[in-house]
Amino acid sequence: MERENKENILKKSNEEKRHFLDLKKPIGWLFTYCGLILSVYGLLTGKDFYAKSLGININLLWGAVILVFGIVFLVSAYARKKLQD
């Protein structure tokens, strides 16, 4: 009982102090979007497109890195929310 009370108080003070908007979401969405279109564009472009980048398909490679980065942010934002509910 006492413990529950304590948790409630803790939850409430967290609620009050909770920042306005979970920044992890817009960061996650932005980079998931960028990563996605970069990797798809990378898949659609041929090798001669990458003469500048020393023959490396930088769009596909770096797009994938950014995609993972974005997804990690999304997962951490939404997983935490689910845990709280």
Partner 1 sequence: MDPIVSLNFIDYAIIGGYILVIMLVGYALKKYMRTGEDFFLSGRSLPSWITGLAFLSANLGALEVIGMVANSAKYGIATVHFYWIGAIPAMVFLGIFMMPFYYGSKVRTVPEYLKLRYNEATRGLNAISFAIMTVLMSGISLYAMALLLKIMLGWSLTGSILFAAVVVLLYVFWGGLSSSIYNEVIQFFLIWLGLLPVVFLGLKQVGGLAGLGTRLNDSLLHAWKYLGSSNNPLGVDWAGVVLGLGFVLSFGYWTTDFLVVQRALASRDINSSRMTPIIASFPKMLVPILVVIPGLVALLVLPEFSGASGQTAEYNSALILLMAHYLPNGILGLAITGLLASFMSGMAGNITAFNTIWTYDIYGTYIKKGKPDSHYLQMGKWATVFGIFISIGTAYIVKSFPNLMDYMQLIFSFFNAPLFATFLLGMFWAGATGWGGFFGLLSGILAAATHYLLYKTGSIHYSSEMAANFYQAWWAWLTDFVVTIVVSLFTKKRRPEELKGLVYSLTPRVHDHKYLLARPELWGSVALLVALILNIIFW
Phi, psi of 53 (to 5 degrees): -90, 40
CA–CA gap between residue 1 and residue 63 (Å, rounded): 51
Minimum distance from residue 30 beta carbon to partner 1 (Å): 5
- Among the listed ranges 4-12, 41-49, 74-82, the one in contact with partner 1 (CB under 8 A) is 41-49
Q: Which of 6, 8, 10, 33 binds partner 1 (CB under 8 A)?
A: 33
Q: Does 67 bind partner 1 (CB under 8 A)?
A: no
- Measured at the CA of 27, the angle between CA 73 and CA 44, to 5 degrees, comes to 90
Q: Does 47 bind partner 1 (CB under 8 A)?
A: no
Burial 4-30 (b: 16+ CB within 10 A, else e): eeeeeeeeeeeeeeeeeebebeebbee
Residues that bind partner 1 (CB under 8 A): 17-21, 23, 26-27, 29-31, 33-34, 37-38, 41-42, 45, 49-50, 52-54, 56, 58-59, 62-63, 65-66, 69
